[in-house]
Amino acid sequence: MIKKFSLLTLGAALVAVPVLAAPGDGDRDAVQTRADVQTRAAEMFAKMDVNKDGKLDAADRAARHAEMQAKRFASLDADGNGSISKAEWDQHGADRAAKRAERGDKRGGMRGHHGKRGGHHGMMMGKADSDGDKAISQAEFQTAALARFDAADANKDGQVTPEERKAQRGAWRAKRGGAAPAAPVNP
């Protein structure tokens, strides 16, 4: 059970892989090349490899989780005294409610998980961990990123256009039971 849980939680390491299919500078109209994907994958791997041991595994996930918990705690502990008072807790709740109201956020609860543990992230982990060692090496991470790029590159010209990215997202949604797939792009 623990090994299965570790495999699924490590899938979070690959959450960023779909992001590799989109330009990093916020320009959604940019064309992206394989070289762009390789560069971004290397940068993301370096950032995600918290303990710098050359692989993404449960240790990295635990370190990242601890880092995030420490930041969350610090944001709640307004007076910095090492404990969270009821007043600080209540203020945090009021601040979150105000932000949701400002955004018009009516979702609440766990967003993005659709009530499932692991989900497609666990499947992505299984695909990227080609040697089955429950860790993702930089080479495995690069291979997974390039496979996603190749899947999006409909005309196989070594570039992914915004239209190709849109078509790929539509195909993913359709595969997951969402919207109908977008028509393939053949420039």
Q: What is the pLDDT of residues 118-155, one digit of tens each?
A: 444 455 566 788 888 989 999 999 999 999 999 999 99
Is the residue at 162 inside a domain?
A: no
Is the residue at 13 inside a domain?
A: yes
Is the residue at 26 inside a domain?
A: yes
> Residue 105's pLDDT is what?
62
pLDDT tens by residue, 153-164: 999 999 999 999
Q: Is 74 a residue whose pLDDT tops 90?
A: yes
> Residue 22's pLDDT is what?
52
> Residue 106's pLDDT is what?
57
Range of the domain at 91: 2-152
Under DSSP, is residue 66 helix (H, G, I), strand (E, B) or coil?
A: helix
Candidate from 22-26, 75-79, 97-101, 125-129 with smallest mean pLDDT: 22-26
- Count how many domains the chain has: 1
Is the residue at 76 inside a domain?
A: yes
- How far apart are alpha carbons 136 and 85 in whole angstroms? 41
By the 8 A CB rule, do 149 and 160 touch?
yes
Type of residue found at 52: K
> Residue 126's pLDDT is what?
66
By the 8 A CB rule, do 20 and 41 touch?
yes
pLDDT tens by residue, 5-59: 444 444 444 444 444 545 555 566 789 999 999 999 999 999 999 999 999 999 9
Is the residue at 78 inside a domain?
A: yes
Q: Outline where 53-128 has alpha helix (H).
A: 58-76, 86-103, 119-128
Average pLDDT over residues 70-81: 94
> Residue 103's pLDDT is what?
87
* 113 CB neighbour count, 10 Å cutoff: 11
Type of residue found at 82: G
Average pLDDT over residues 164-172: 89
Pairing of strands 55-56, 32-33: unpaired
Instruction: Please give the angle made by the CA atoms of 107, 110 and 116, to the nearest 5 degrees.
Output: 120
Type of residue found at 155: N
Is the residue at 184 inside a domain?
A: no
Is the residue at 30 inside a domain?
A: yes
Q: Residue with structure tokens 């039971």?
A: 177
Average pLDDT over residues 80-95: 94
| CA–centroid distance for 171 within its chain | 18
Average pLDDT over residues 74-78: 93
Partnered with residue 55 across adjacent β-strands are 137
Partnered with residue 159 across adjacent β-strands are 33
Is the residue at 168 inside a domain?
A: no
- How far apart are alpha carbons 146 and 113 in whole angstroms? 25
